[in-house]
Chains A and B, each alone.
Chain A
Amino acid sequence: MNQKRRIYNVYFNTHTVTGIAISIGLFVIFLAGAYSLFVREINRWQDGVKKQEYTTDIDFERVMDTLAQEAYQLEGRTISISLREDVQNHIRVRSEALTEAKDTVKLFSQKDALARTAIFMEIDPETYRIEERGRNQETTRLGTFLFHLHYFGQIPVIGIRIAGLVSLFFAFAILSGIIIHWKKIVSNFFTFRIKAGIKNLWMDAHTALGVLGLPFQFMYAITGAFYGLILLLYIPVLVIVFDGDQEKLVALLQPKIEASTDTITTSYNDTSINGLVKRALSRLNRSEVEFMSVLITNYGKQEAELVFTAQMNSQKHFMNNVVTTFQLSDGTVLSHKPMDENSYLDLSTSTIFKLHFASFGGYLIKALYFGLSLITCFVILSGVLVWLTAREKKMYAHKAKFNRNVGALFIGACMGLYPAIALFFCLVKVFPNNFDQMSNVFFLFWLGYTLYAFFIKSPFKINKYALVLGGVLGLLVPVLNGLQSGLWFWKSLSMGYPDSFFVDIGWLVMGSLALLGAYYAKPVEKKIKSEKGVTNESLVKI
């Protein structure tokens, strides 16, 4: 019995300590992450452009001509060309710098050295002109900015590792939380005590919604840790198993598809890149192609190969990759991987990717993910509030000030993000050309709200004002969008701008729910003297 009680208390402590430690980071991850499910939609909303149909008609020869005119040495390169849809469709060309074999030392003239540098290029699919060069450019897109924010990408190099650690400890908090809650898991799932004191209210909300979102949250904890910390697996594998030989690890992770008996035997004389792509596409339903890319290895040499990859309709097929490899010189099919033949490694990596990015099942799944992310935000916030209200007894009086300060800072930093994001959406419409300054305003506002929360202390007021601010700014978003782009939400859908319409409507709904929540929010508990809280209803609707 004593042992059981000890374990309960120990896990209770680890759950509380890890939970509080990661709370702000996790809240940012889930709130910004909820928005970054709709990166492309938000980016198109920002620019007021239509979604372009994905096309499989790319003239690859013209792309190669464009590259050749750029004085790059193409021979021997591995070049990848793909059509991407972001704000507008564009052709992306990537190629790593040419390197010599290890033992040879060669001196190149400056021109030759330049010709051998890496290629990073975006090309317009209509005119085949180069639109952008270089990489690591600062983004000027709101959706992309929020996507970076959701793994702390604004902190260079270590930001994503910190996010990975937060994810890992999130998994720990989830498991220890479920252990301490285990005995009451069924009975408490149906318990919601609204009038039995503020602590019980936060407690019930925390546990019920935590159990409800458990599979979703655990999935994100593990896949999030994968994206942030997978180097911790790769490095020991590389050093110990492969003695530092990176090529072997890459070969293991991206194995060559073995030649299958399933080859195309019809005679086909066109061995140009376009001809081979056309040939690969001929066995696919073109209208179902969602993404297409071509990888050419050892360009210009006898052993050059062309790897054609297509991703088919992701709503119909979970595993939707088709890969065909050709010998570039004579057009023989070296291998072909249809959609339904996947190795375990393919399954594993694609499942992690698809679960994390919700890139299956279309908008319905994404909407569900969005809702569950907000629920998770609420679980985090109510966890902090449980922690805070549980420490309002006399026995914690000696730490009361410290607890209240920490609580105010944490709740302020979490709740402040919501109006800050709403403000950012407004700002990109008011000052469309000053993205960098506006991102500074965003961070300053967020910091300002956190400091403000630190001074007013009361969680009730922090929550309520954040909801009011977020609600008003959220309702302003569609108005400012209408004024700036003329795409008012009552006509944008019929004009053919669904992205603009749905982002506007989303903000109308989110804004009015936040205002409603703020309106109905009352300091529910009179018995507890110092602190007050918001009614549960209001916060669920954030």
Chain B
Amino acid sequence: MPANKKYLLRTRLGRTSKILAATIGSFLSTASFHVALLFFFDKSKVLATALYSIFISWVLLMLMVYYVKRPWVSWAVLVFILFLSVFAIYLGKTP
């Protein structure tokens, strides 16, 4: 009944990496994504949505991290979102 071990990550490094990606990594990319949206759309509306969507998207990213097999692939997705958002924030901040 408990999950079959042969499908789980074996190395401690891999597991830790995924936990960090699911918690901190997912948060950083979802938060930066929402902040980036604030620069380009109606602030009030984006913020009103972000009040709940930040948590939903955070959890969805957590699911993504575990859906992907290799830790570095999930990190790549997260870092991609993060870089895209940071770039957008940079564009938004420089007049």
Asked if A233 contacts B34 (CB within 8 A), the reply is: yes
Residues A345 and B48 in contact in the complex (CB < 8 Å), given A7-B67, A176-B63, A241-B38? yes
B21 → chain A closest CB, angstroms: 12
- Which of B31, B50, B59 sits near A172, CB closer than 8 Å? B59
A255: which B residues are within 8 A, CB to CB?
Answer: 44
Asked if A345 contacts B44 (CB within 8 A), the reply is: yes
- Is A300 an interface residue, CB under 8 A from the partner? no
Closest to A170 in B: B59
- Which of B2, B32, B44 sits near A343, CB closer than 8 Å? B44
Asked if B59 contacts A233 (CB within 8 A), the reply is: no
- Is B8 an interface residue, CB under 8 A from the partner? yes
- Is B58 an interface residue, CB under 8 A from the partner? yes
- Which of A5, A11, A168, A252 sits near B59, CB closer than 8 Å? A168
* B-contacting 9-mer, from A205-213, A224-232, A483-491, A501-509: A224-232
Residues A240 and B35 in contact in the complex (CB < 8 Å), given A172-B59, A233-B50, A348-B52? yes
* Dominant secondary structure of chain B at its interface with chain A: helix
Asked if A10 contacts B52 (CB within 8 A), the reply is: no
Complex alpha-carbon distance, A409 and B95, angstroms: 58
- Is A390 an interface residue, CB under 8 A from the partner? yes
- Is A344 an interface residue, CB under 8 A from the partner? yes
Asked if A348 contacts B59 (CB within 8 A), the reply is: no
Closest to A253 in B: B47
B4: which A residues are within 8 A, CB to CB?
Answer: 5, 9
Residues A9 and B7 in contact in the complex (CB < 8 Å), given A236-B31, A390-B2? yes
Q: In the complex, which residues 27-72 of chain B have their Cβ closer than 8 Å to any Cβ of chain A?
A: 27, 31-32, 34-35, 38-39, 43-45, 47-52, 54-56, 58-60, 62-63, 66-67, 69
- Is B13 an interface residue, CB under 8 A from the partner? no
Closest to B49 in A: A348
A252: which B residues are within 8 A, CB to CB?
Answer: 43-44, 47
- Which of A10, A171, A237, A344 sits near B66, CB closer than 8 Å? A10
- Is B79 an interface residue, CB under 8 A from the partner? no
- Is A441 an interface residue, CB under 8 A from the partner? no
- Which of A199, A222, A225, A348 sits near B1, CB closer than 8 Å? A199
Asked if B35 contacts A226 (CB within 8 A), the reply is: no
Complex alpha-carbon distance, A236 and B66, angstroms: 26
Complex alpha-carbon distance, A13 and B8, angstroms: 8
Complex alpha-carbon distance, A220 and B42, angstroms: 28
Complex alpha-carbon distance, A225 and B45, angstroms: 20
Asked if B52 contacts A352 (CB within 8 A), the reply is: yes
Asked if B7 contacts A226 (CB within 8 A), the reply is: no
Complex alpha-carbon distance, A449 and B41, angstroms: 54
The digit string for B58-95, where 1 denotes a CB below 8 A from any CB of A, is 11101100110100000000000000000001000100
- Which of B2, B48, B69 sits near A349, CB closer than 8 Å? B48
A240: which B residues are within 8 A, CB to CB?
Answer: 35, 89, 93
Residues A6 and B7 in contact in the complex (CB < 8 Å), given A172-B63, A226-B55? yes
A238 → chain B closest CB, angstroms: 10
Complex alpha-carbon distance, A255 and B43, angstroms: 12
Asked if B35 contacts A237 (CB within 8 A), the reply is: yes
Complex alpha-carbon distance, A16 and B1, angstroms: 11
B7: which A residues are within 8 A, CB to CB?
Answer: 5-6, 9-10
Asked if B51 contacts A241 (CB within 8 A), the reply is: no
A231 → chain B closest CB, angstroms: 11
B30 → chain A closest CB, angstroms: 10
Closest to A165 in B: B23
B29 → chain A closest CB, angstroms: 12
A366: which B residues are within 8 A, CB to CB?
Answer: none
Residues A222 and B56 in contact in the complex (CB < 8 Å), given A232-B31, A237-B38, A345-B48? yes
Closest to B86 in A: A240
A247 → chain B closest CB, angstroms: 14
Complex alpha-carbon distance, A6 and B48, angstroms: 37
Instruction: Output the residue of A168, A172, A255 with the most chain B CB within 10 A.
Output: A172
B59: which A residues are within 8 A, CB to CB?
Answer: 168, 171-172, 175
- Is A12 an interface residue, CB under 8 A from the partner? yes
- Is A14 an interface residue, CB under 8 A from the partner? yes
Asked if A230 contacts B48 (CB within 8 A), the reply is: no
B27 → chain A closest CB, angstroms: 7
Complex alpha-carbon distance, A168 and B56, angstroms: 9
Closest to A219 in B: B52
Asked if B51 contacts A352 (CB within 8 A), the reply is: yes
Asked if A226 contacts B51 (CB within 8 A), the reply is: yes
B2: which A residues are within 8 A, CB to CB?
Answer: 12-13, 16, 390-391
Residues A241 and B44 in contact in the complex (CB < 8 Å), given A171-B55, A236-B31? no
Complex alpha-carbon distance, A175 and B34, angstroms: 22
Asked if A14 contacts B66 (CB within 8 A), the reply is: yes
Complex alpha-carbon distance, A237 and B35, angstroms: 6
Complex alpha-carbon distance, A12 and B54, angstroms: 24
Complex alpha-carbon distance, A217 and B38, angstroms: 29
Complex alpha-carbon distance, A347 and B32, angstroms: 24
Complex alpha-carbon distance, A241 and B44, angstroms: 13
Asked if B49 contacts A16 (CB within 8 A), the reply is: no
Asked if B3 contacts A232 (CB within 8 A), the reply is: no
Instruction: List 8 A–B pairs whose Cβ atoms lie within 8 Å, in order of A's numbering.
Output: A9-B8, A10-B67, A232-B31, A233-B31, A236-B35, A237-B47, A241-B43, A390-B2
Q: Which 6 A-B pairs have the closest CB atoms?
A: A9-B7, A348-B48, A13-B3, A345-B48, A12-B3, A390-B1
Given known contacts A168-B59, A232-B31, A237-B38, what 15 new A-B pairs fall within 8 Å (CB)?
A: A10-B7, A10-B66, A12-B3, A16-B2, A16-B3, A171-B59, A179-B63, A225-B55, A230-B51, A232-B27, A233-B50, A253-B47, A344-B48, A345-B44, A352-B52
